[in-house]
Amino acid sequence: PDAAGERRERYGANELPRAARAGLGRQALAQLTDLFAVVLLLASAITFLTYWLSEPRDAGRLQLAVAILCVVALNAVIGFTQEYSAERTAESLQAMVPHTCRVLRDGRRQEVPARDLVPGDVVALEAGDAVPADCRLVEAHELSVNNAALTGESDPVRRDSAPMAVPGPLTDARNCLFMGTDVVAGAGKAVVFATGAATEFGRIYRLTASASRQRTPLQLQVAAMARRVAGTALAIGALLFAVRLPGDDTVEAFVFALGVMVALVPEGLPATLSVSLAIGVRRMARRNALVKRLLAVEALGSTTVILTDKTGTLTQAEMTVTRVWADGALHPVSGVGYAPEGEVADPGPRVRELLRVAALCCDAKLVPPGGDGGRDGPGSGGGPGGHHGTWRVLGDTTEGALLVAAAKAGIDPHAEEAASPRVAEHPFDPGRKLMSTVHRAPGGGFLVHAKGAPQELLARCTHIDRDGGARPLTEESRAAVVAVNDELAAQGLRVLAVAVRRAEGPGGDRDAAESGLTLLGLTGMLDPPRAEVSEAVDACRRAGIRIVMATGDHPLTAEAVARRVGIVRGREPVVVTGKRLDTLDDAALDELMAGGPELLLCRVSPEHKTRAVTALRRRGEVVAVTGDGANDAPALKHADIGVAMGASGTDVAREAAVMVLLDDSFASIATAVRLGRSVYQNIRRFLVYVFSSNIGELGPIVAATFTGFPLVPISAVQILAIDLGSDVLPALALGAEPPESDVMDRPPRARRERLFSMAVMRRILFLGGIQALGVTAVFFWHIHASGIPFADFTEEHPVYREAVTMVQAGIVLSQFFVGLAVRTDRQSLLRAGLFSNPWLLGAGGVGVALMACISYVPVLQEVFNTAPLAAADWAVLTGLGALPLAADELRKAWLRRRRPESGERGGRRAGPGPDPGRRRGPMRVIIAGCGRTGSALAAQLAAEGHDVRIIDPLPGARRLLPAGFSGAFHSGSGFSRTALEAAGIEHADAFVALTSGDNRNLVSARTAKETYRVPVVVARLHDPHRKELYRGFGIPTVAAIRWTVQQIHRTLLHRHLDPELAFGNGETLLVRSELPGYLTGRRLAEFDVDGEIRVVEVTRGGHSLVPAHNTAAEPSDVVTFAVAATALGTLRGFLGKELGT
């Protein structure tokens, strides 16, 4: 203990240093550093000074000074409250370090606080323990650890005590354990060599802490806008001060200029901006995306690159067996994850025997919801603690997948273990790539069960289980096994072989035990992608967002997953390993990041991810980084937007991120981007609204200055009442406008794009100018109608009070109509719907009611120096107030005539209009087959302005195309990828395969669909030259061709007709469609209807299968129906969608 104490003083406690956080007072004061706040504080201080120096003292100046202070305080309170409620302040990293641990001190085992560990301590570890510090194993018994919290990869890795050299990262050392990771199997003892901040975990912490929080694009834009507005206010105030000075005393001229400055500064803008962003935060929270910093809401909308992790982000981090090959047949396995829900197709005796042997040859445990697997241990694959409300695996995830598959086949591993107890084992050996166990057979004797890499296990087999018995393993059957293995591996599956043999006893040499085996079959498994990821990836692609995968996994595995979810579609993505990144300087790294759109970073460390983020940001990209492990934290902090997984993510990742996905759904990112883009557009809308009001307030003041009127037409207190009382609620209602329908079909805006663009400025001057002219005319008309000279007016004169009341009321009413005008950019308000935003109407009504109170309530009359208005005055002001809306409607009509567009971005469609499913703009369509049907379709599409490319192996087929055909003809086979890429398949919008059933265009269609992710239409035709087309229907061949062209054309031009369609001979059609969610779980046999509708094929997880009688539908199944033409209406109603007929 004394030695331990000395070392504790030397090395410090085994805990991570707490990050310094600003106190509440400092956070509150930070709200006052905003430039608008500084200008207003300065104005308030000067107003106080003029109040104290003037004799007699003017109470109005005191009211103005207090009012300005209240404005600043209100903005500060709103900003502080929103930030404080969104930002977590807990030090979450400490939660990942265990509180106690078992150590060997003074020759005995004792339990001590983990913070008291010192280098040199020997800790005892077993399954379920969290590693308390970095340590080296001195004794290990079948010990495996889950390094997900450190590396991001959830597969358990075996550790032993053998000395070894470590040429790569220390985390690759097989004899070392690291703080924050978990022991999932076995036991051991290890000596501590690093504690606290000196650990690998501490290194990641330092990387995270050293990263300064990045300023979002909106922060930069608002800061620039504040500087310009403040500079403009000071310049105009100084100019008018100089103009007024000769006729007024200095104090009066100064107070007048101060009022001008107050009129130009949008006092309500900071509060409106904060609350509008908070509305965006709440909208995202309802969609399971928790944003911790308000300004990050808008930053999501400007994202240009998403750097995403693989395990747990794109995939479920749960290995799942999807294929079992036994007795010469391939059997699909339904269901995903660790829940034993699903079934093995046709689970005959040989399949059950394979899965029984595989389950007995496992050390892992399958733990039900609420269970602990025998101790309070972690789940597998998600970091410390696991998910105790779901099924989980304690041990190796690959073995867990085998246990789940066995359960789906009705096998109880516990009952089998009891019937065939294990008496010996040969643990997994990385060199041999297999493991084996010895069991007592129920009928006597012993059985060796083995599983491992197919190529290794196959070399030790002499027989194969076939036709109910062991048959000699011939070269032919060995080649068949290799072919199946290659086929499964090509699908991105991890393949394991399972074998068995009889043994004379439990002892003996391992080589002898693992030879002469009988191969039972193969299992193919994968870490399944999340169901919604592919759709989210497609949405991001449409939005012009580049997706880069960064993972610690093997390049082949990474590419397989990337292809499965749609990140990779081309033939040769750029795959870069961490070792190659180490050889690149910053210039070379920048060039790499600027490369092709399909980039995969594999075997990368936290430093590699951070370098990649930095390089992307140097190129001007707005980078969002997703991740769930502690290894992702530095990149999350350095990125513009860090996105952490909420359910499976580690606390350090959630702490470093600015957005947390509560449901771990990658699809929530696409939703957040959509909402973020909407927030930016809405901010522009209420900027036009707010600054139009400022122009309206400034106009009469400037007019009074140059006409020599001695008083201001609107006081600073009245301006504050407008900016904070009447304008804030409508501005917020504009901020609540829902996203536009095509917001995800636009490219991201540039990082340097100005919030105050010239178009925004022109619209502010247009609307504000009309408003200013109207209220200025009202003011001077009322003054002139009284016949009183300018010099006789005082602030208490009733005519003056009526005039300033009319100015204030005129601005309030005008702003009501301006709010309606700015809802759309080009579309008429009548088409967008006058009542489609009831919040705006209600907010405008509140503003008018508040103005009425200021005009009629005696107390408020004294505060704001107003007078009651007659009904005729309100009528005149309403008419003048509607002028901006009328003028803006004329402007929009002129824009529509000048640049006609189909639809309006700025508003929502109301009433009948174009078919929303119809594709807009020209498409690139590739047609494989230039026969009479193909040439007719190509001619029609080209005449409509589409980019048509035709592929046909016969150069003479070109003669079928009409003269003047504007498309391109490529001589080659659609089966050839070279021909497809020469035709530009990577950028195609649709691919049409025309086939008589005996050519290779069907293969080209599958290639276009699965490799290049291009929507496909397949038309199965007979050769019209053999006069077999539509035989027996009594219609000419030309009419049949015309009908087929019509169906394909309609399919191409409508988005909701995107599923693959195959047109047959006019009597029977093949229809391919994704099943709606409400059919999930139904047996596919139920879909057969009176012989008129029949299921012929199911595509599940990218793989085709012929459904058995009891096969159940799963989410995202794509089913091919053979349907009689007379039953299309029945199928349409069954699926709830159009089918292109």
The residues that are catalytic are: 309
d(CA 193, CA 176): 10
CA atoms of 775 and 883, how far apart (whole Å)? 11
- Which amino acid appears at position 311 of this protein? T
Beta carbons within 10 angstroms of residue 1056's beta carbon = 13
Residues β-bridged to residue 1018: 993, 1062
Give the strand pairing for 968-971 and 947-952: parallel
Q: At what angle do helices 59-86 and 250-264 cross, to 10 degrees?
A: 30
Nearest Cα residue to 128 out of 385, 370, 312:
385
Backbone angles phi, psi at 680, to 5 degrees: -65, -45
Q: For residue 693, what is the enclosing H or E element?
A: helix 667-707
The amino acid at residue 1104 is S
- Contact status, residue 163 vs residue 191, Cβ threshold 8 Å: no
Q: How many angstroms separate the CA atoms of 376 and 811, rounded?
A: 67
Contact 175, 162 (CB under 8 A): yes
| Type of residue found at 1022 | H
Asked, as a colleague might, if the bond just before 56 is cis with ω within 30 of 0, I would say yes
Cα–Cα dist 215/222, whole Å: 11
Phi/psi region, residue 381 (left: phi>0; alpha: psi -120 to 50; beta: rest), is left
Query: d(Cα 773, Cα 777) in Å, to the nearest integer?
Result: 6
- What's the half-sphere exposure (Cβ side, CA atoms, 13 Å) at 709? 23
Q: Which two tokens stand for residue 279?
A: 């509305």
Greatest distance between any 2 Cα atoms in the chain: 124
Token output for 161? 């005590």
Q: Name 355's Cβ contacts closer than 8 Å, sequence gap at least 6.
A: 324, 344, 402, 405, 406, 409, 411, 523
Query: CA-CA distance, 599 to 573, in Å (whole number)?
Result: 6
Q: What are phi and psi of 1121, to 5 degrees?
A: -105, 140
Task: Report the length, in residues, of the chain.
Answer: 1141
Measured N-to-C along each axis, helices 667-707 and 269-286 cross at an angle, to the nearest 10 degrees, of 160
Structure tokens that stand for 691 in this block: 């600054």
CA-wise closest residue to 643 among 912, 1083, 296, 342:
296
Name every residue whose Cβ is closer than 8 Å to that of residue 832 and which is 6 or more positions away in sequence: 823, 824, 904, 906, 907, 908, 910
Listed in sequence order, the residues at least 6 apart from 550 whose beta carbon sits closer than 8 Å to its beta carbon are 307, 308, 309, 601, 604, 608, 609, 612, 635
- Spell 118-140 as b/e; 16+ CB within 10 A means b: bbebbbbbebbbbbbbbbbbeeb
Instruction: List the one residue out of 157, 137, 138 whose CA is nearest residue 147.
Output: 157
535 phi/psi in degrees, rounded to 5: -65, -40
Token pair 């904070």 is at which residue?
724
State the Cα–Cα distance between residues 439 and 925, nearest whole angstrom. 61
Burial of 822 (0-12, 13-18, 19+ CB in 10 A): buried
Helix (H, G, I), strand (E, B) or coil at 1005: helix
Which residues are 1069's β-sheet partners?
1123
